[in-house]
Amino acid sequence: MAGTVAIRSLFTPPNVNTSSSVRRTRRACLSVRATVALEQENQAKVSLIRIGTRGSPLALAQAYETRQLLQSAHPDLNQDGAIEIIIIKTTGDKILNQPLADIGGKGLFTKEIDEALLEGRIDIAVHSMKDVPTYIPEGTILPCNLVREDVRDAFISLSAKNLGELPAGSVVGSASLRRQSQILYRYPSLKVVNFRGNVQTRLKKLNEGEVQATLLALAGLKRLNMTETVTDILPIDDMLPAIAQGAIGIACRTNDDTMENYLASLNHEETRLAVSCERAFLTTLDGSCRTPIAGYACRDDEGNCLFRGLVASPDGTRVLETSRKGPYAYDEMVEMGIDAGKELISRAGPGFFNW
């Protein structure tokens, strides 16, 4: 008995209710566990990657695609809240009643997103590559292109099966001088009017009878699961696509090794090289939204790069084309784009690009 008392005196203070002490201890443990669980939950909600994007349905579809690819490649990004999508409204989204050339060109769709990236409000920026200017803002890099979608243009009409069936005087809606010039080159009896807005807005205008037809990038319609609206798909021989059409580009800050490593796992090198070739062509021409320019690089059956480039007058009365073929490798493909651009500048003559 003495031994028992000695043991009790070592571990239990006098006049202490043992059961009450145990209950307090248990409550304290539960409180600690709840605090730890709450902290873990909060940590899970902290975004590891913040994706910046425009807010159009197509832009969001591209951001969702990027998120899905990141989660597939990196299991750590599958927890709730690990990837956050942040919508940024650009100047180009706000001003829809003027041609792009009149309000500053294509950079209007990327400027505010680039600023958010540089200011650290987002970690990566998802762009349609055909909207990205030929310059990349200092402090950012664009190391990643996703697998390219179909580069062709889609013809959509409620009254004709293709462009050739439209009666003389029919109105085609398009915000693209590239499309306008190539339409008028082949069908000078048609009329092309400025037709801006997202895919849904343009289709609404078409259904309301503002125009008899419109052309949209097939890639966008595929990403939106809206290919049922397509009346006809234009062959590349009839409508050379825009530079980088169908390609998604993802930018991050310079020296952000974490984001660069994430993006490296998504990059599709064949697309990146093709886009580099086309953008070298555009850069050489000093292309803007005032000049109809088209270009497309692809891998041929022999594994080589085949590049086709075009410049035109907005009214379609002059169309100049060229092509190049060479190894499917970065340096050679960039040189092909530059060389093709120089050739067309020489053939076009003075004043051709001053529209």
**Residues designated as active site:** 131
SS3 212: coil
- Identify the CA nearest to 79 among candidates 112, 114, 106, 41: 41
292 and 348 Cβ atoms separated by less than 8 Å: no
What CA–CA distance (Å, rounded) separates 87 from 63? 10
User: Tokens for 216?
Assistant: 């949209």
Helical residues (DSSP H) of 48-139, grouped into ranges: 57-73, 91-94, 111-118
Burial pattern 177-193, b for ≥16 Cβ within 10 A else e, equals bbbbbbbbbebeebbbe
DSSP string, 1-70: -HHHHHHHHHHS-TT--HHHHHHHHHHHHHHHHHHHHHHHHHHHHS-SEEEEE--SHHHHHHHHHHHHHH
- Identify the CA nearest to 124 among candidates 247, 250, 248: 250
What CA–CA distance (Å, rounded) separates 225 from 304? 32
What CA–CA distance (Å, rounded) separates 342 from 28? 77
Chain centre to alpha carbon of residue 354 = 29
Which residues of 179-253 form beta strands (DSSP E)? 191-193, 213-217, 232-233, 248-253
Measured from the Cβ of residue 130, the count of other Cβ atoms closer than 10 Å reads 24
